[in-house]
Amino acid sequence: MNATCSFAIISQFFPEKKELYIGILEAGTGLGLLIGPLFGGVLYHIGGYPLPFLTLAILLILMYPVMVYALSEVETKEH
């Protein structure tokens, strides 16, 4: 669901350069799929089964204010 929404948002807000931004999104996804298991394995080795999940939860909670700010900026530019 996340990828579909990301492609739709990019196509709506950046119609003139959507190929560039979709390429950047795909590169980031590939890099995450490449590096994610490495970090997950390291975190599992350090703290056991719960640590990778707790780390992801903390990162998502910390990213929430950034997302709210970024989306409010996009909304004000749209109007």
Full domain range(s) for residue 57:
2-78
Cα 62 to Cα 5: distance, rounded to the nearest angstrom: 21
- 3's tokens: 């990828």
Reported as a single tens digit per residue, the pLDDT across 13-55 is 888 999 999 999 999 999 999 999 999 999 999 999 999 999 9
Radius of gyration, alpha carbons of the chain: 16
Model pLDDT, residue 76: 63
Number of independent structural domains in the chain:
1
Residue type, 51: L
Model pLDDT, residue 77: 60
- 70's tokens: 């970024």
Model pLDDT, residue 45: 97
